[in-house]
Amino acid sequence: MTDTANGCVVFVDDERAVRLAGQQTLELADFSVIACDGAERALRHLGRDWPGCLVTDLRMPQMDGLTLMARVQAIDPELPVILITGHGDVPMAVEAMRNGAYDFLEKPFPADRLTDTVRRAVEKRRLVLENRRLRAALSGGETAGVGIVGRTPGIERLRATIAAVADTDADVLVLGETGSGKEMVARALHDASARRKHPFVALNCGAMPESIFESELFGHEAGAFTGAAKRRVGRIEHSSGGTLFLDEIESMPLSLQVKLLRVIQERVVEPLGSNELVPVNLRIVAATKVDLKQAAAAGTFRADLYYRLNVVVVTIPPLRERREDIPLLFQHFVLQAANRYNRDPRALSPAQAQRLMAQDWPGNVRELRNAADRFVLGLEDGAAEPTPRPPVSGDEGGGGLSLAEQVDSFEKSLIQAELARHKGSVKAAVEALSIPRKTFYDKLKKYGLSRDDFIE
């Protein structure tokens, strides 16, 4: 089923005329509707990822609406259920709302009452699912590049490339400037692959002293050199079954590049002091901030290793080439920092968002994350340090944000980002966010925003 602009609805009623009327009313209001004549059929479509709500008659044969609601709550207690009742069932529906029903409609009800109630329920559901996605991002539970925040074409292409190659064994070369998130991309490739249950081993070639580089990468046998008292498994062997991430590979000594080339070609490693070849099953993700082809031409990087790595190339655009993503990405880091430091997440003003977008950010994502940390701690723009936020009831460990706080903060940042991106155009922002214009204006009022602040 293809989702339409306003969301999805499962509509359940055993009376055909009521069912068809409800379906037609909701489809005319641009909802995608699955009409069911019974509860069991409805349950086939509902799950924790269902992007909408359930509308069900209260009195039905075989399984009534209250039993269906209980079954749905067992699947996902945050999935909105709207009950349709006869006049004599109103007290029962009121009690059902105390037990978690979203709302009820008493027959006969006008069409606009149905569409308004469903619209509110679907909007609530959308925010719940977005909050879950955000919580997964904050806990590091992302796969296939979902945690790579941004909506510009360059980032969409990056996510698509990661999704296309993640579950293959192809070695990958990641290109990106300093601080652009090369290790994050490597981890996204690993986490979305069949190797995710095995080690992700990272080695920064630029930070490794040359004297221990070979031993660290390839391992050694006991007695291989002075001080080698026992056998050591190298990073390559340790990553077998998983992923080996070699950052700043341009810094690897030439003498070791030829040995790495053999590992890539033959999938074996020979530890120092050993005559035995150890088979390894690994994927190599290499990252660089320089043009390796130019380095090969200059003789500082082996050309054969470059061409061996240059099969699947993932390019991370610098922040200055995706300025429209900066407010959204900054607010994402603000939410992370607020959780980390037990502070209230501060919202960006339109002027602050514009200043962020005007900067070039030579340190890219890493520099922006540091700025978000200072912003949360009150160290940016001479702001006073905010007082610690008291733990919210239900927070994990007493230090996280409540659901409402995370949803509101993230939703506000999305609206600000789209208004900034489209220079105050409500029409463009509404289309980008896929929400009704009235809902958009309601949210502007809720968050104290004005489109005029974004018009250049």
Residue 390 confidence (pLDDT) above 60: no
264 CB burial (10 A radius; 0-12, 13-18, 19+): middle
Shortest CA distance to 52 belongs to which of 72, 24, 38, 74?
72
| Domains of the chain, each with CATH number or no CATH | 8-138 (3.40.50.2300), 153-317 (3.40.50.300), 320-454 (no CATH)
Q: What is the pLDDT of residue 402?
A: 56
Stated as kind and residue range, the H or E segment containing 78 is: none
pTM for this prediction? 0.57
Q: Where are the beta strands (DSSP E) in 109-251?
A: 172-175, 200-204, 243-247
Residues 6+ apart with CB under 8 A from 392: 398, 400, 401, 402, 405
Q: What is the pLDDT of residue 134?
A: 59
The amino acid occupying position 149 is V
Give the C-alpha separation, 134 to 136, whole Å: 5
Residue 385 confidence (pLDDT) above 50: no
Taking only the tens place, the pLDDT of each residue in 99-116 is: 888 888 888 889 999 999
Min mean pLDDT across 56-65, 183-192, 218-227, 394-403 is at 394-403
Q: Fill in the DSSP letter of residue 362.
A: T
pLDDT-derived band at 388, boundaries 50, 70, 90: very low
Taking only the tens place, the pLDDT of each residue in 69-83 is: 999 999 999 999 999
Give the C-alpha separation, 372 to 312, whole Å: 33
Give the C-alpha separation, 265 to 32, whole Å: 52
Give the C-alpha separation, 220 to 276, whole Å: 11
Query: CA–CA distance from 90 to each of 21, 39, 53, 59, 104 (Å)?
Result: 22, 20, 21, 12, 8
Helical packing angle, 403-421 and 437-447, nearest 10°:
110
- C-alpha torsion angle, residues 57, 60, 63, 65 (rounded to 10): 20
Look-up: residue for tokens 């002091």?
273
The amino acid occupying position 184 is M
Give the C-alpha separation, 6 to 230, whole Å: 65
Q: Which one is predicted more confidently, 366 or 327?
A: 366
- Please answer whether residues 364 and 430 qualify as being in contact, where contact means their C-beta atoms are separated by less than 8 angstroms: no
- The mean pLDDT of 17-33, rounded to a whole number, is 92
Shortest CA distance to 69 belongs to which of 93, 105, 86, 91?
93
Q: Where are the beta strands (DSSP E) in 229-348?
A: 243-247, 268-269, 278-279, 283-288, 312-315
Q: Which two tokens stand for residue 14?
A: 């055993």
Q: Which two tokens stand for residue 112?
A: 């606009």
Residue 345 confidence (pLDDT) above 70: yes
